[in-house]
Structure formats: C-alpha cells, structure tokens
Amino acid sequence: MTPLLFLWFLLSGAGGAVPASPDTALLPPDGFLQTWKKSGNPRVFTAADLYGHIDGGAEIFLEFGFEQLTVQRYRPDRKPGAAVNADDEFTVDIYRMADPIAATGMYLVNCGRETPDSSFAPRHTLNQFQLLFKRHRYYVMINNAEGNEQLRAGMLEFARYVAARLPVEVPVRLHELLPARGLDKNSVRLIRGPVALQSVYTLGQGDILKLGRKLTAVAGNYQDAAGRHSLILVDYPGAPAAQQAFLNVQNNLDPYLKVEEKDGRRLIFRDFNNEYGMILLAGQRLTIQVHLAKKPALQ
C-alpha cells in the first residue's frame, strides 16, 4: 500500500464513519421525487464515534440506548426548470435505538411543542427547518438546512419514504402512568439516567435514581390544585429495589437541597429557590414531586 493510500484509509477511519449499514436501505434513492440526488456517501456512526458527530449531545443518546446513526445528504439535480434552488439541501439522520422506549425518549427530548401535519401518521413534529418522527425503535430527523418553506412538502415525502420501510410501531404508554388532570402533555419526558434527569430536576450526582440505563422514569409538569409543579414516577422491579433507590437518594441528595423532614418512606426538602420537593416510597414505586410552592405534609 502506498503512503498516500494508507493516509487516505487512516483519515477515513478517523472520522468515525463505518463503511456499511443495513439502515442505508431505508434511504431514498437518487432521483427521489425526480429532483433529489445523494450528495456523497452515507455516513454511519456507532456508539464509539457518536461524539465525533454530535458535539456535546451524544451522552443522552447513549444513556437511552443507542445503536447506530446513518446520515445522508441530498442536493437537487441541477436540471433546467427545477423547482428548487441549487443551494437547497436535505439531510436525513436515522437513529437506530435499542428499543421503542429509547426512540420515544429521544423524540420527546427534542420535539418541543409538537406541530404535526395531518397527512403523516407516525408521531412527529414539523417546522420549516426540520421534521422529527419516531417509529418503533427508530428516531428520524429530516433537516432542511436553509429553512426554505417551499420544501415542507419535500420533508414530508422524505419522511414517508423512510417510515414506510421501518418496523410496525410499538406504542410506548409510559405517559399513561402520569395523572391526566392538570398535565401539560408537551412537558412529558422519559428518563433513563442522570443526563435526562438533569433536564427535569437536579436531585444529586450520578445515577441517583438507580435506573442503570435500563429502567425508565416518566416526568411531566402540572398546573392543578397544588399550583405549578413537576412529577417524576419510577416503577422498580420490586419493593427491595425501590427501597435501595430511596436510600440512595437520601444518602446522596444534592447539597443545595435542604432536608426539612424525613422518615422511612418520605423525604421532604427545600431548594435554593425556596421551592419544596417530596419523595414518597410506596411498594415498588418512587413518586417525586418538585417545584412545590408550599411545604407538603409528612404523613
């Protein structure tokens, strides 16, 4: 092998791309919609090199359960009379996650207040720059880099092509554990570790709820008789596991949280905003309420 050829192989590997993936079969072909062609080869990233593609954002994917990412850019064929500009571009990012819960968790992290299009069935949200959707264990992003509103229909067609080749949806119903009354449905989040938990509330360092990237907590924001507050629910495999998690929280509570009262199954604390929180152990479940305006009663 010549030194120049060896250098080419070395640089190709340094980017973290893997040469092949079965998920490339999910990508629209050249000539899609008689307009779009692939721009370069697909790039494929595994857990080992995801950090090289998502600067600072890889950890939450890994926490939920990430397997592989396939990325393909598309540019228009520069044919006379084309309906799009030469600078327009689509990028298709296909994240294959460990399971449907992981895909749902990542979708909820990024979707914000959903603005779906009635013509597309999978759970999704769409704006002028991006269409996000999830189906089975896949989380997919269709990116319109220039934010060209005229490409909205194209984003939907790209999404339909990919979705039609994914496994049949498996509904994730963890949100049904949350009481419906007063719940802001756009606030629902899933949690499998400290990164996702931090976006809801800081209880302490590390995997304080002992989820181990396997168990899944569900969280949501409320406006009800108790005022504005957030609720986190975790169901463990059994009462002993829930007890261990409760003790772990008690022993490793963030130092900024001041314990007000506690017993063998309840812990009440106050944070630096003078808001209250309570953790309740009942059987195999931990119920965590935070951002409470008034101190709850220890009963």
Rounded to whole angstroms, how far apart are CA atoms 135 and 256? 40
Phi then psi for residue 158, to 5 deg, are -60, -45
Between 141 and 18, name the one with better pLDDT. 141
Whether residue 157 is found in the same domain as residue 178: no
Whether residue 111 is found in the same domain as residue 187: no
Whether residue 199 is found in the same domain as residue 153: no
Whether residue 158 is found in the same domain as residue 179: no
Helix/strand/coil for 104: helix
Q: What is the mean pLDDT of residues 3-20?
A: 40
pLDDT at 293 over 90: yes
- Given 129, 144, 163, the domain boundary residue is 163
CATH number of the domain bearing residue 81: 3.40.1000
Whether residue 211 is found in the same domain as residue 232: yes
Whether residue 32 is found in the same domain as residue 141: yes
Q: Which domain holds residue 199?
A: 174-292
pLDDT of residue 83: 60
Whether residue 45 is found in the same domain as residue 142: yes
168-212 pLDDT per residue, tens = 999 999 999 999 999 999 999 999 999 999 999 999 999 999 999
Residues paired with 125 in a beta bridge: 132
Whether residue 108 is found in the same domain as residue 225: no
pLDDT at 15 over 60: no
| 101 inside domain | yes
Element (H, E) at 222: strand 217-224
Whether residue 47 is found in the same domain as residue 151: yes
Q: State pTM to two decimals.
A: 0.89
pLDDT at 11 over 50: no
- Given 131, 163, 195, the domain boundary residue is 163
Task: Check: CB of residue 17 under 8 Å from CB of residue 44.
Answer: yes
**Cα-Cα-Cα-Cα dihedral sign, residues 17, 18, 23, 25:** positive
pLDDT of residue 239: 97
| 270 inside domain | yes
- Given 126, 144, 163, the domain boundary residue is 163
In percent, the amount of the chain with pLDDT more than 90 equals 79
pLDDT at 2 over 90: no
Number of domains forming the structure of the chain: 2
pLDDT at 247 over 90: yes
Whether residue 203 is found in the same domain as residue 96: no
67-102 pLDDT per residue, tens = 999 999 999 886 555 566 767 899 999 999 999 999
Whether residue 24 is found in the same domain as residue 151: yes
Whether residue 159 is found in the same domain as residue 262: no
Cα-trace Rg, the chain: 23
